[in-house]
Structure 1
């Protein structure tokens, strides 16, 4: 009997020795139909890993991570993924219908299938433009309905660990607060219409001297709030040049105000010269008074002011938007 117990103990010990230790990395593999790129990029604040996609759309790689949310890029397409060392995820997607077809199998699939469903739900539930222009009662109703739908999805998803659930609940609260803040800001911007514009005073003019908003009274003023580091701002430059050329000699001034930090002053002057920026080019010298008055939290931002100094549109169409010319035509500029 003792001999039998000894043999059983040895067998159990050997079996335990054969058990693999938990992996301290993520395995990410799968198939992409109609891929947009020859590689996938996993990123958070910066690129964490570039994964090669084979000609047949297959891919496989490993990476070590800090537990949390990441972005997976396939060219212009992107999706949120939740990664944790020990996960063994297999992804399947058709890039022609990226959000609609992405699915996961394997360890960690529950959280990531939830995120895929959440993205589709958000797309169907939250119309940001409609939210920002609705009245307060309608906004609150729509936002609460969306929040409840997300909670129902989270509660219905099985196999999620407590840390992930806590993270999603926190994100939901943050999203609600962020949208409420955006709504309040939008309402404040809309309320500026027809009122006297906030003013900037003595901003350095690239052409020489100082310029204030009051110096431009008597003409319409189209203001571009931008910075040298801002990619979307720079993309608008060619369109802005075209608009300026089309309305040259008309009763309108085109003003570009750089909100760069003081240490980028030389960069600003160089860019104005190299890109041959036209119109009135001003440097705000880190004076945030004008930008704060217009609730500017992102750039580029365009502002249209009438000849009397009153706000026509505190969030005017961009130069690349055909609506801008329509607006100018309505004003008989």
Structure 2
């Protein structure tokens, strides 16, 4: 696919109304533009989300748009590859301190449409825009294809990416970083495919060629901080090692809990302290909500996490305190006046007298979609029994929420959480979805992190335990 660009002079009438746009202060970046067809939030406002460069540890920034899609913002988060999320497309831009940039495009036609670039470094950003527009999406779940076929597919993608890089007008250091990123993306896809292939067929053995390519340094601290694909590759590599060790311990002791002891095992198999801390950062918040002994897991976290991310440590402490209050038999946090797909609003108290199985999900959550067939079957199995199934979406876009319900023919009670009142999800320390909660007829907690619908045996046992 041929990418279309228009490179303009910096002074543009669309942005001349803002005096601060005329010159970028030292060590700051000025970014302006016009993005058409951005869907409004439920409040009616239009915004884009700007993600700072990978490894910067800076928060995402919400940038408001005017009615016609225009925006101007000053950034202080350093140089690197930023990502604009317009609700439909991730749009990369390479921004440098003390420089000024403009971008204009239509969110509905970004992949095939024209992107207008202005200001500094337009040739550099031509490369990044083209890279995204020409990205080939890979069906990673298709394990029916052979290893040779998959290698040919990703090898061709790598070859195209390198050819695009060769013709790009990039500084030497940036060109070298992009070449490394292309190789890491290839290796990540290969490693992930081989893992899924092995999961689908335990007799599968990777080729010598693949094994040789994946024999790399998994302890490169610099690349771990700077390259997202290398970070994901390292994560998957150590998760495979971890699962192998956990299975050995489980065979030796059937009562052994892999999740409960995961931080301890990670500290044994990852010799690099910084990478170990990074892996804990990626896993700990989710696992804290899944373990049976929250107290013991949090104590391990305090021992084995030696990083300096004070925000992460504070978030873990907050989640620990909240989860410690969510004891079995304690009253559940409440939600009030959530929008109901059938009309009107609904509060949690409306379900008193019945067991309540709550499904927290969103239209953009792939794992949530994977659970939907199992949830539908669960609802059918327990039809007529004293239990109600309540799906609560945390979507901010009411239209996508409603469209997903219609598309997937979702049963049960469908509610939309109120973004202005996040107290319910905050009190349940929800940092990832899908999440499932079971309450008794009095509104008391049975399980603050219940088994998923796909965990049929565990969930059936829990429901049988309460008499269902």
**TM-score interval (norm. to shorter):** 0.5 to 0.7
**2:371 is equivalent to residue 251 of structure 1:** no
> How large is the Cα RMSD of the aligned pairs?
3.9
Q: Partner residue of 2:243? A: 123
Q: Does 1:111 align with 2:244?
A: no
Show the 5 A alignment for 1:23-42. Answer: 35-36=146-147, 38-40=149-151
State the secondary structure of the residue aligned to 2:380.
helix
TM-score by length of 2: 0.45
Q: Does 1:298 align with 2:432?
A: yes
Q: What's the counterpart of residue 241 of structure 1?
A: 376
2:193 pairs with 61, 65, 77, which one? Answer: 77
Q: Compute the displacement of 1:173 (Å).
A: 2.0
* Higher RCO, Cα 8 Å, sep 6+: 1
Mapping of residues 187-206 of structure 1, within 5 Å? 187=294, 188=320, 189=323, 191-206=326-341
Q: Output aligned runs, 1:141-156, within 5 Å.
A: 143-144=263-264, 146-151=266-271
Q: Is the 8 A contact 2:289 2:449 kept in 1?
A: no
Q: Distance in 1 between matches of 2:269 and 2:426?
A: 35
Bigger share in strand: 1
Q: Which residue of 2 aligns with 1:163?
A: none
Which residues of structure 1 form unaligned runs of 5+? 1-33, 42-48, 54-58, 80-93, 134-138, 152-167
Q: Residues 99, 304 of structure 1: CA spacing in aligned structure 2 closer, same or farther, 3 A cutoff?
A: farther
Structure 2: distance between partners of 1:119 and 1:278: 35
Is 1:51 equivalent to 2:161 in the alignment? Answer: no
**In structure 1, C-alpha distance between the alignment counterparts of 2:367 and 2:277, rounded to whole Å:** 29
1:285 Cα deviation (Å)? Answer: 2.9
> How many residues get paired?
247
Counterpart in 2 of 1:280? 413
Q: Deviation per CA, 1:72-104: give whole Å up to 9, x if none.
A: 32496257xxxxxxxxxxxxxx99234999532
Contact 1:35–1:95 at 8 Å: present in 2 too?
A: no
Shift of 1:330: 2.5
Instruction: Name the CA distance, whole Å, in 1 between partners of 2:401 and 2:365.
Output: 12
Cα offsets for 1:254-290 (capped at 9, x unmatched) = 10101001xx201212222333322111011324221
Change in Cα spacing, 1:310 to 1:173, as seen in structure 2 (3 Å) is same
> What's the secondary structure of 2:332's corresponding residue?
coil
Partner of 1:268: 401
Q: Retained in 2: the 8 A contact 1:40–1:73?
A: no
| Alpha-carbon distance, 1:124 to partner | 3.3
Report deviation, 1:250.
1.4
Which whole-Å deviations, capped at 9, do the CAs of 1:101-121 have from their partners, x for residues lacking one? Answer: 95327xx96526996985654
**How far 1:184 moved relative to its partner?**
4.2
Counterpart-to-counterpart distance in 1, 2:269 and 2:387: 48
Distance 1:212 1:259 in 2: 15
Equivalent residue of 1:72, what SS?
A: helix
| Residue 227 to residue 110, structure 1, CA distance change in 2 (3 Å) | closer
1:227–1:260 Cα contact (<8 Å) kept: yes
Distance 1:254 1:61, change over 3 A: closer
**Structure 2: gaps (5+ residues):** 1-144, 166-177, 196-201, 221-233, 251-255, 295-319
Report the TM-score, using the length of structure 1 for normalisation. Answer: 0.61
Change (3 A) 1:231 1:37: farther
What does residue 56 of structure 1 align with?
none
Deviations 1:130-187 (A, max 9, x none): 2543xxxxx4xx6356424432xxxxxxxxxxxxxxxx54222222344454454442
What aligned pairs does 1:139-178 form with structure 2 within 5 A after superposition? 139=261, 143-144=263-264, 146-151=266-271, 169-178=273-282
Work out the CA distance in 1 between the residues paired with 2:161 and 2:215.
16
